[in-house]
Amino acid sequence: MAAAFRKAAKSRQREHPERSQPGFRKHLGLLEKKKDYKLRADDYHKKQEFLRVLRKKALEKNPDEFYYKMTRVKLQDGVHVIKETKEEVTPEQLKLMRTQDVKYIEMKRVAEAKRLAKERQKQYNCLAQRIEREKKLFVIAQKIQTRKDLLDKTQKVKAPDARVKGWSLGWDPLLQLQSGLVQTPCRPPAQDLDSSSSRRRTRTAVYYALLLPDCSGRQRPSLAEELGSVLAASSASVNCVPARFDTI
């Protein structure tokens, strides 16, 4: 208990400020403390030690001693300065450096030429792809325009047979022509074989068989296969020469 009271009493005792500079020494500034003296003393001893080492080196120096650095150092204003020597280049070294420069330039030129050729080939490929795409689009546009012309209500085409008066759902012209349920236009009378009306009816039937959409739900073959099947069916049913289709 007494020890605890003693520690508490120390915290309440009066402060003891440091002594200041006497009045007759005010002109010297603040009074130097021990920590300030310690810094000043350490700096002084460090300088004295450096001077002692220099004096020892001067006493122990050999006047006949030689260092290779002496050939590149000169004394200038009491300071040793290293001389800047120019590098001597031999003619062989000059030729080698010029050859390396030429090879470097040639390498850069070849690399740039390859890069340009690659870019040019890429542009050519893009152009070829665009031309192919435009060709396909042109063919598709022609087919669409042809179907529009055939399905135009202002240009009505007379049916080739009286039994067929319209296109009902599920009716396939190609299937009807091949099965013989509908009279094919390639079977005209003998007297009308070469007439223009017979050829017109034949072209009309082939157009409808090839260009109208298939309503039966099955996959329609290609244009060449359909044309060949229609011609084969019409030629096998009647021994007649089919009309020319190169004008279709």
Q: Write out the chain's pLDDT in tens, 248 residues.
A: 567 777 777 777 777 788 888 999 999 888 889 999 999 999 999 999 999 999 999 999 888 888 888 888 888 888 888 887 777 888 888 888 888 888 888 899 999 999 999 999 999 999 888 888 888 888 887 777 766 666 555 555 554 444 444 444 444 555 555 555 444 444 444 444 445 565 566 556 555 555 554 444 455 555 556 556 655 655 554 444 444 444 44
Q: Count how many Cα atoms sit within 13 Å of the Cα of residue 134 in the half-sphere of its side chain.
A: 6
Give the H or E element holding residue 138: helix 91-150
Q: Which of 100, 130, 156 is the last residue of a domain?
A: 156
Which of helix, strand or coil describes residue 81? strand
Per the domain annotation, does 64 fall within a domain? Answer: no
Per the domain annotation, does 114 fall within a domain? Answer: yes
Q: Which of 131, 156, 181 is the last residue of a domain?
A: 156
Can you tell me which residue has the tokens 């300088």?
47
Per the domain annotation, does 200 fall within a domain? Answer: yes
Q: Give pLDDT, residue 233.
A: 55
Per the domain annotation, does 112 fall within a domain? Answer: yes
Same domain, 180 and 215: yes
Q: Give pLDDT, residue 12.
A: 74
Total of domains in the chain: 2
Could you tell me which of 210, 208, 196, 225 has the C-alpha nearest to residue 166? 208
First-to-last alpha carbon distance for the chain, in angstroms, is: 128
Same domain, 216 and 177: yes
Cβ atoms of residues 239 and 223 within 8 Å: no
Can you tell me which residue has the tokens 């020319």?
244
| Letter string b/e over residues 174-202, b meaning 16 or more CB atoms within 10 A of that residue's CB | bebbbeeebbbbbebeeeeeeeeebbebb
Per the domain annotation, does 225 fall within a domain? Answer: yes
Q: Give pLDDT, residue 197.
A: 60
Per the domain annotation, does 67 fall within a domain? Answer: no
- Residue 185 lies in domain: 173-237
Query: CA angle at residue 113 from 107 to 115, to 5 degrees?
Result: 105
Q: Give pLDDT, residue 155.
A: 52
Q: Give pLDDT, residue 244.
A: 44
Q: Which of 102, 126, 156 is the last residue of a domain?
A: 156
Q: Give pLDDT, residue 75.
A: 85
What's the rounded Cα separation, in Å, for the pair 162 and 171? 16
